[in-house]
Amino acid sequence: MEELGLRNSYKKLVNLNPEILAQKLELTETALARALRRICELEGQKLTDLQLGFVLQEQLAGLQDQLYGISSERYKKREDKPKDPTPPQPRVKKPSERYPTTPVREVLITQTPAPACNCCGKEMTESGMTEDSEQLTVIPKKYEIVLQKRMKFRCSCQGSLVTAEAPARIVPGSSYSDEMIQDVVLSKYCDLIPMERYAAMAARGGLVNLPPQSLIEVSHQYADFIAPVYTRIFEAVANSRVMHADETPHRMLEGSDKKSWYLWGFSTQTDCFLECHDTRSGDVASMVLKNAHCEVLISDVYSGYGKAVRIANEQRRKVALPLIKNANCNAHARRYFFQSHKKGYKEASFYLDHYQEIYRLEDEAKGKPPPEVRSLRDEMRSHFEVMQRRAANEVSQYPNKSQYGTALRYFLENYVGLTLFLADPEVAIDNNSQERLLRNPVVGRKTWYGTHSKRGAFTAAILFTVTESCKLVDVNPREYFAAITRDLLVGKAAYTPHEFKLAQAPAH
């Protein structure tokens, strides 16, 4: 929304003549300079005119970067050697080699009449040999109506007539089959297709006038149906030793006094749990941590998580349980230095170079047993110590409001949380995995703008929880939804996507 507002303001500005535009720019710079000077005075800092001018340039450059800048945070050391020449490209695989589980349909192509021989002119006969080529094709989605006929049974005594029992269904009596309901749900919460677009796509396939509101209703009903899985995923996250946490805005279009809601995410390496609330208060995280077995919480430096950990630790002290530690996200710390580097602070390259080496070692540690991970992380410790000493010497030389000063203070003030992962192989270097799990809900809210009711928000939380948990452990959501639906209908206990994957794995 902030970016959209900036772009709308830009559209208004381009229509102004140069004289008025110059006047507005001068007024804006004057007002911003006055505000910055006043803020620094209130914080007990004194800025010279030169420092004030530099900070002012940063602020204006930041606005320009939001409008026109690239989002990539890729950084390359100055002394990096050029890469080796591009290796030869491997042979292009046939579709059947790339997709070995896809059915192959053979089509024999012949010629009538048969061709004449190039040598003697006689009509040729089939040799039995073929020249083969493969093409990947698609069968468009086909809609059909299933007419269920339940047999009626009678007795020779003519005293009774009994109808065969109806099969169990997600929504008994619904005009949508279980397969259709699953397709609707996954199209929205996995493929991010709004219900109105789903209905429009169905119309192009011959199913005209499919009501989007009825599709929304069955998605609510399916969320209720699969709620036991949602509960089981929460239990798996709450029982984990290490937990990730993050939150993102969620717009409530109607049905609530508050328009600004938040989607909260809590995850482990195998499960992702999402909740929707009308507040960003740390009380939400407190409720999750209250009964959790978590010993390390990985998050950004948001006071709400600090508050949640303090409250949870107060309770744990009373019953002599291990206290929760805060691990902070190194991707955030690196990002501050990267943004400083973009603004012209060449000093930031020192920290970016060290972070590049730290992340190289972390990539090398992926998939290795804990002792090897601990050994590689011990190599990182010297990089953090060098950065800490350099930052401590530099921090007093830069204003708090400058980009580089902010980066230095963020690194120093959160140094303990940023380096907690060094001694614990189970703790991640950053919180990027949780941020990736919120990417689909963020893209989704931009597509359908928000939810129209509290029930819609809770439905989104449940269905995004299950689909993102599938993706987290590399399980096909369509395979999992088909299996869990079938099993819940016959009374089997709910299981998470991770448990589904373990059950599918071949026994050794």
Q: Are 265 and 296 in contact (CB under 8 A)?
A: no
State residue 34's pLDDT score. Answer: 74
Check whether 250 has a pLDDT greater than 80. yes
* Residues 410-463: tens digit of each pLDDT: 999 999 999 999 999 999 999 999 999 999 988 888 888 888 889 999 999 999
Distance CA 270, CA 508 (A): 21
In the chain, domain spans: 178-329+442-508, 334-430
Indicate the pLDDT class of residue 126, thresholds 50, 70 and 90: confident
pLDDT over threshold 70, residue 58: no
Tell me the per-residue pLDDT of 460-491, one tens digit each, with 9 for 90 and over: 999 999 999 999 999 999 999 999 999 999 99
Most confident of 49-53, 62-66, 393-397, 488-492: 488-492
Give residue 54's pLDDT band: very low, low, confident or very high (50, 70, 90): low
What is the reported pLDDT for 2? 46
Using pLDDT thresholds of 50, 70 and 90, give the confidence band for residue 1: very low
Q: Looking up tokens 């990985």, which residue turns up?
A: 298
115: how many CB neighbours lie within 10 A of its CB? 8
Between vectors from CA 24 to CA 19 and to CA 30, what angle results, nearest 5°?
130
Give the mean pLDDT of the chain: 86
pLDDT in tens, 151-169: 999 998 888 999 999 899 9
Q: What percentage of residues in the chain have a pLDDT greater than 70?
A: 86
DSSP secondary structure, 34-50, as one string? HHHHHHHHHTT----HH
Give me the pLDDT at residue 90, please.
Answer: 81
pLDDT at position 10, please? 53
**Is-contact 327 417, C-beta < 8 A?**
yes
pTM confidence score = 0.81
136-166 in b/e form (b: 16+ CB < 10 A) is: eeeeeeeeeeeeeeeeeeeeeeeeeeeeeee
Share of the chain above pLDDT 90, in %: 49
Q: Are 141 and 191 in contact (CB under 8 A)?
A: no
Give the range with max mean pLDDT: 56-60, 81-85, 304-308.
304-308
For the segment 109-127, the average pLDDT, to the nearest whole number, is 88
Both tokens assigned to 144:
């059909």
Please answer whether residues 210 and 166 qualify as being in contact, where contact means their C-beta atoms are separated by less than 8 angstroms: no
